[in-house]
Every structure is written in C-alpha cells, then in structure tokens.
A = this chain, B = another copy of it.
C-alpha cells in the first residue's frame, strides 16, 4: 500500500509574476499543518526551507507535526526563493554564493535530522541559464555535481533526491530530465544520491512518466521520491492529479509497483485560486481510486497487456475496468 504525503506550502498562499502578493491569504503554520493532518490517507508532509522550516523553528515544527500525527517526509532546501540565489545557488558563477549554498544545504541536513526526516529533496531551480552563450555549461554543471556530492558524502544517513525540471525559473535547468539527472547522480558515486520524479516536470520534458520510473529503477535503483500533479504538457501548471490525464497515472502506479518503489506519493501543487486542502484531497482520492483497483489479479492483467501490446485491447480494458 502506498504512502501519501503533501507539500505543506500547497495549503498556503501562492503567487505568480503578475500578482506577487498572491491569490489568497497566508494561513498560520499551525493551521496549515492541521489541514494537512485532516486529509484522509495523508500521513506525511514535505517542508520547504525558509517558507516552512528553518534551523531555528525546526523543533517547534516537529512538535506540530507530532501533534497532528504527521511524519516529515522530506526537507526541500530553499535554493530558489532568496535574492542571493537569483543567478544560481549550488552552480552559481560566484564562488561565494556557491559556498553559501553548500553551507545552507548542510544546515538543511541538520534540520532533517532534527525532524527525523530521511530525505533532502534538492531542487536547485535557479541553477541553469536563460540565454545562448550565457553559461559555461561544462564548468557549471560540474560545480553542481561536486557540491551535491560534497554534502551527500558527509551525510550518509540522508537520501538526496534530485528533482529535475526542464525550465522555470530558468529557461534551461541543469537538472532538466530524468536521465540527465540520473547521470549526474551516478557521477557522484554515492548510494545516497538519487532522483525525484515530479510527474508534471516529466510531462513538460516530454517523458512518459512510467518509462522514466523504469529508467531510474533499472539503472541503479535510483528513484528516491515522487511528486504528483497534472498539467497541459507545455508548462508546470501544478494542477489537481487527474484533471487533465487519466490513463497515464494507471501506468505510473503499475510501474511503481513492478519496480518495487517503496517511497512516498507526495502531492505537489499550486492551487492558486482553489481551496488548497480540497485540491490535495481530491488528488489523493484520484490516486487511491486507481490504487484500489490494482490488486494481484489486475496487476497480472496489465502484465499481459504490456506483453502483448495490443493498443485496442489496452484501451478497452482501461474503459471497462475504470469507468462505470
């Protein structure tokens, strides 16, 4: 049975470049955590650095989680929402910034330990470039790898899940696709460095999510974490799971099963104008609706479908199995 979690900030306010004050009011942390605990089936949360947790309030946050029977699934270091990271963090051209980014990542390891959390979900969103002839691609990609390696090597009790995304906030991210990021993870030579798939990022990358799962698991059991949302394929719209696509989530859950993924299914959305709790609850229910169907017999049916490869039969099976 899968474990479900959410990213805490999804319950709060969200802004964009046009409405920088955000579409909603910000709720107090106590309320956010309480709301998380109320979503049926959710037993864990992810916390974003700066926004949700710092070294100073970690214990207090931990107590709130305990009180609401929530596990801290991951810490997502804030490598993106501070002005100093505006032109890069772990791969910044400025050596002083890179050093600050490494120090801060070590600090996040400490935060994770305080919260008995086993994953650092690394998303260095500002590490990349916008224009042609703007990046020393070789040097900067290497800085990124070396700095992740530096922290991970000294933190063997923590798993580092590298989250890729093709673009935004940079036009090109250094960790852009599943395989790029796997190569970087393997280059560290460390067992505790792997990859996080965000389903929406994979869609923007043009990936079939199920195939990315297989690639990461087959080339070294490197799928460490999963973020779930949906979108219209061209951009990270961060929508309710199942609101655009349906069948690909069936294939996704099937291959998570087949490759023995034992991590979390974590909801990661930006419900700008929606009720955050409602959006996350509906996402979890959608996935549970699929998961509830995937008993041994159904898994066996899918195995036969993918082995025979008759698309008409697969579509018929999907329709008859899932739709009233």
What is the distance, in angstroms, from A278's C-beta to the closest C-beta of chain B?
Answer: 4
Which A residues between 200 and 250 are near B, CB-CB below 8 angstroms? 204-208, 210-211, 214-215, 218-219, 232-235, 237, 239-240, 242-248, 250
Q: Looking at chain A, what size class is its interface with the partner chain?
A: 35 or more
| Contact B206–A138 (Cβ < 8 Å) | no
| Contact B247–A133 (Cβ < 8 Å) | yes
Determine the chain B residues whose CB is within 8 A of the CB of A314 once the complex forms. 131-134
Q: Taking CB as reference atom, which chain B residue is nearest A314? A: B133
| Residue A311 is within 8 A (CB to CB) of chain B in the complex | yes
A171-B237, A183-B215 known; A282 vs B20 contact (CB < 8 Å): no
Q: Which of B22, B80, B219, B251 contacts A187 (CB 8 A)?
A: B219
Determine the chain B residues whose CB is within 8 A of the CB of A310 once the complex forms. 134, 274-275
Complex formed: what's the CA distance from A186 to B319 in Å?
A: 40
Kindly specify which of A66-74, A104-112, A301-309 makes contact with the partner chain. A301-309
Complex formed: what's the CA distance from A240 to B310 in Å?
A: 12
| Residue A157 is within 8 A (CB to CB) of chain B in the complex | no
Complex formed: what's the CA distance from A281 to B311 in Å?
A: 13
Which A residues between 286 and 324 are near B, CB-CB below 8 angstroms? 286, 289, 293, 302-303, 305-319, 321-324
Q: Which of B16, B136, B235, B275 contacts A235 (CB 8 A)?
A: B235
Kindly specify which of A38-46, A82-90, A95-103 makes contact with the partner chain. A82-90
Q: Which of B130, B204, B243, B322 contacts A323 (CB 8 A)?
A: B322
| Residue A179 is within 8 A (CB to CB) of chain B in the complex | yes
Complex formed: what's the CA distance from A139 to B126 in Å?
A: 37
| Residue A264 is within 8 A (CB to CB) of chain B in the complex | no
Determine the chain B residues whose CB is within 8 A of the CB of A219 once the complex forms. 183, 187
Determine the chain B residues whose CB is within 8 A of the CB of A319 once the complex forms. 242, 282, 285-286, 289
| Contact B240–A311 (Cβ < 8 Å) | yes
Determine the chain B residues whose CB is within 8 A of the CB of A171 once the complex forms. 232, 237, 239
Interface string of A252-292 (1 = CB under 8 A from B): 00110011000000000010111100110110011001000
Q: Give the 8 A-B CB pairs with smallest separation, nearest first.
A: A179-B179, A278-B312, A131-B311, A133-B314, A246-B246, A179-B180, A23-B86, A137-B214
**Cross-chain pairs A/B with CB under 8 angstroms, 5 sampled:** A86-B272, A133-B302, A134-B309, A135-B309, A323-B324
